[in-house]
Chains A and B, each alone.
Chain A
C-alpha cells in the first residue's frame, strides 16, 4: 500500500507530515529541518531548484527566483496589480485570465510553481520512507491545507497544483481546523476554541466547538492577503527610506532582496530581544557596512496598524458564531507570525485569556493534515471535522444583484437550490453567473463562472421553471447544475473558475511535467554532487589555511603530499565550474582520497590539543 501524507503548502514555508503508530509527525531533512521554503528558482539550464537552495538564490539570482506564489493562486491579473511592484519576478497575464509568472525567460501559472514545491515535499517524504526501510515508499495521495478564507478559485488552484505534482488530493482542508485537530489529539475532548492563524501571507480565524471528538467549525473569517510578508514589506520600505540614495531604486533587485533579508532577520530577533541591529552585507548601492539600531518599541509602532487589521475578522467570527470573547475557552496560535510578542498581546487582550502555543506554530497545521489523511484512509471514526464555507455563494439576478444560495459559515458539505425563470418571451437560453462574496451587488462579488443553460422550449416570459442547484463538497469546492423543470433539460458544470485552469490545461501540464521529470532528477543529482563537492573543497581549504600548516606538513605528511592535495583541489574546483556531474563526482572523490591522511593528522592534532588544554585547566 502506497503512503498518504498531510501537506501544509504555505506562503513562506511548506511541510509534510504523516501518522506513525497513531501519532502525527513531521518529516525532517538530514539536518533536522522540517521547513521547506516555498521558493522556486530556475537555473540557467532550466533546472528547477526548490527550498533552502532556492532561498539562497533569491540573493544571488533574484531574476530567476519566485517566492510567495501562494498569494497568486486562483487570482486574476486585475487582483494582483498592486502586489507585483517590488517582486523580482514578473506577474502578468491576459485581462480576465489566470495570472502568469515570468521568471528566467519562461512563463508559469501559480499552480505550476506550487506543484514544484509539492513535488519536492513528495520526494522528501519518499526518501524518508525509503530510509525507514519501507518496502512501498511511494507517496501518491495527500491532504493539502489551505487558508480557511480561501475562495473557490484559490481552492481549485491548490487542487490543480496537487494533481500537477502527481498527487491524488484526498481532501483540501482549512489550516486553522487542521491545527485544532492536531491540538485535539492531545488535549481535552470538549470546549469552545478560537484558532488565530497568522502566517506568512494569510490570516484566518476560526471558532470551533469540540464535543465527543466532533470538531465543528461555527464560523470563520480572515484576510487572504495579510501576513508576515506584509510586515517584511513594511520594514523593507522603511529601511530603504532610511538608507536613501540608490536604495530607493526599485529596479535594484539584489539590493531590495538584501534589505528584505536583513529586515526579516531583525523582525525575528525582536521576537526574543528588546533591541537588535539590522545589518546589511556590503553591496552596490548600500553604504558600506550599513547598520541600524532597532528597538522592539520602534518595530511595534511600525507594525501596529497591520496587526490591528486581524482584530476585526476575529470580532466578526465571534458575532457570526453568536458568542462573546468570554465564551471562548481556549485560544490556539498558529503560524510563524504569532511569534511576535505584539500579536500575542493583542490576541490575549481581545479574548481575555492567555493563548496556547505548546505545539510548534510552524508545524501544527501539517500535523493536523496528516491526522485527516489518516482518518480518510483508515476509516477511523474517533474524530470528525465539520468545516464551513467561508463565503456566501449565489448567482446574479435581475439588476446586477447577487442572490445568495448558500450562506457563509454553512457547514459543508452543503447544498442549496433556487428557482429562476426567463424574462423575455420565447427565450431559449438562460445565462447563469455564479458568484462568491457577501456584498449585494454583483460587481462587488467574486465572479466564479458563467454558463448557459440552452434548449429551453419557447414559452412566454416567466413560464420556465429553472432550478439552479449548488453543491459544495467536503473540500469546500462548488459544483453547479441547472435544470428546466418543465422539460427536464439539465446541465451540470464543475465550476471552473474564470481565473483557473481548464482540465485540458492541467492534462497538458501533467504530460509536460512527466517529460521534465527526467531532467529534474538529473538536475537534483547535479545539485547534490555540487553540494558534496563544495563541502569537501571548503574543508580542504580550511586545513590548508591553518597557520601551523607548514609545521604540520613537515611533522606528519609525506613528501609531495601537499602538492598532490593542491592539485586535486584545483581539479575539483575546476569541475565545479561546469555542470558535468560525473566529473564533479570523480574529482570530489579524488580530493577526498588525497586529503584522507591530512584529515586524520588534523583530527589527531585537535584531539591532542583539546586534551592538553584540559590537563592544564585540571591542574
Chain B
C-alpha cells in the first residue's frame, strides 16, 4: 500500500497516480517489474506491447512534464522514470527477464552456486576438453603454425558447442512456455519448472563463455 504525500489517501502499490487527487505517487519499495509495467507475470512477453507500455508510461512520468511541480512530485517523477527505464530494460532482455522472475519467485540468481543448481558433469567435461583444445591452438598460433589448419580446427571445436547452445535455447523456451501455461492449470508444477529453468540458465552461461573464448581465439587468427 502506498500513501499519497499530497492528500494522504491510500493507493494500491501498482498505481502510479493518486486516485483521489491525481498527483504522481512516490515510488516506495517496489520490486515487481511486471506489475509495475502492467503486463502479466509471464516469460513470453509481447515485445511490441511492452514497448508501447514503456512509451505510454514515459509520457506519464517523465521529469520534463513535472518541471513546474512541487519538489515531492519532481522526486516521484524522477524515481518512477528511473524505475520504469530499469523495468523496461530488464523485461526486454530474455535472460534478464528470467533472472527477474527467479528473484520474484524467491530463487537465488542463476549466477550463484547457492540453491543446489549444478552444472551437469558432462558439460563440465566438455568445458575442460575445449579449453585444452583452445590452449593448443593458441600455442601453435603463437609459434607460427599453419593458420588455415588452425582455423579448421577452431571451426570443428565451435560446431558442437553451437549445437549445444541451440539445444539449451530450445529447452529454455520450452520451460518458459510450460511455466506460463501452468499458471492456472497446474500451479503445483511451477516451482519444479522454475528450478529447471534456473539450471539451464546456469549451464548456458558456461556455453556462452566458451563461445566467447572461441571468438577471441578466432580474432587472434584474423577471422572475423
Residue ranges of A at the interface with B (Cβ–Cβ < 8 Å): 170, 211-212, 214, 216, 375-377, 379, 381, 384-386, 410-416, 471-474
Contacts and interface: CB of A to CB of B under 8 A. Distances in A.
A377 B78 CA distance: 17
A419 to B, nearest CB: 13
Contacts, number: 53
A414 B79 CA distance: 8
B85 A379 contact: no
Nearest to A379: B65
A474 B63 contact: yes
Contacts of A412: 85
Given A214-B58, A381-B59, A386-B58, A413 B81 contact: yes
B86 interface: yes
B58 A410 contact: no
B33 interface: no
B63 A414 contact: no
A214 B85 contact: no
A384 B55 CA distance: 9
B82 interface: yes
Interface of B: 55, 58-59, 62-65, 67-68, 78-79, 81-83, 85-86, 88-89
A384 B64 contact: yes
B64 A473 contact: no
Contact of B85 (A377, A385, A414): A414
A302 B183 CA distance: 66
Contact of A473 (B63, B65, B89): B63
B111 to A, nearest CB: 14
7 contacts: A214-B55, A214-B59, A375-B64, A379-B67, A386-B58, A411-B88, A474-B63
A377 B65 CA distance: 9
Given A214-B55, A381-B59, A413 B64 contact: no
Contacts of B64: 375-376, 384-385, 474
A413 B78 contact: yes
A379 B65 CA distance: 6
A415 B82 contact: yes
A211 B55 contact: yes
A376 B89 contact: no
Contacts of A416: 86
Given A381-B59, A384-B58, A386-B58, A413 B85 contact: yes
Contacts of A212: 55
A411 B89 contact: yes
Given A379-B65, A411-B89, A474-B62, 15 more contacts: A377-B67, A384-B58, A385-B64, A386-B58, A410-B85, A410-B89, A411-B88, A412-B85, A413-B63, A414-B85, A415-B82, A415-B86, A416-B86, A471-B82, A474-B63
A387 B200 CA distance: 35
A543 to B, nearest CB: 57
A412 B62 CA distance: 10
Contacts of A376: 64, 67
B180 to A, nearest CB: 25
B81 to A, nearest CB: 5
B79 A415 contact: yes
Nearest to B60: A381
Contacts of A413: 63, 78, 81-82, 85
Nearest to A377: B67
A400 B126 CA distance: 33
B59 A471 contact: no
Contacts of B85: 410-414
Interface centre among A211, A212, A377, A386 (most CB of B within 10 A): A386
Contacts of B63: 413, 473-474
Contacts of B67: 170, 376-377, 379
Contacts of A415: 79, 82-83, 86
A131 to B, nearest CB: 28
A384 B83 CA distance: 17
Contact of B86 (A384, A385, A414): A414
A415 B27 CA distance: 13
B78 A471 contact: yes
A431 B81 CA distance: 29
Contacts of A386: 58, 62
A561 to B, nearest CB: 64
A116 B122 CA distance: 69
A473 B81 CA distance: 10
Contacts of B68: 377, 379
Given A376-B64, A379-B65, A474-B64, A414 B58 contact: no
Contacts of A385: 64
Contacts of B59: 214, 381, 384
A384 B88 contact: no
Contacts of B58: 214, 384, 386
B78 A473 contact: yes
B1 to A, nearest CB: 22
Contacts of A471: 78, 82
A192 to B, nearest CB: 13
Given A379-B68, A412-B85, A384 B62 contact: yes
A413 B83 CA distance: 9
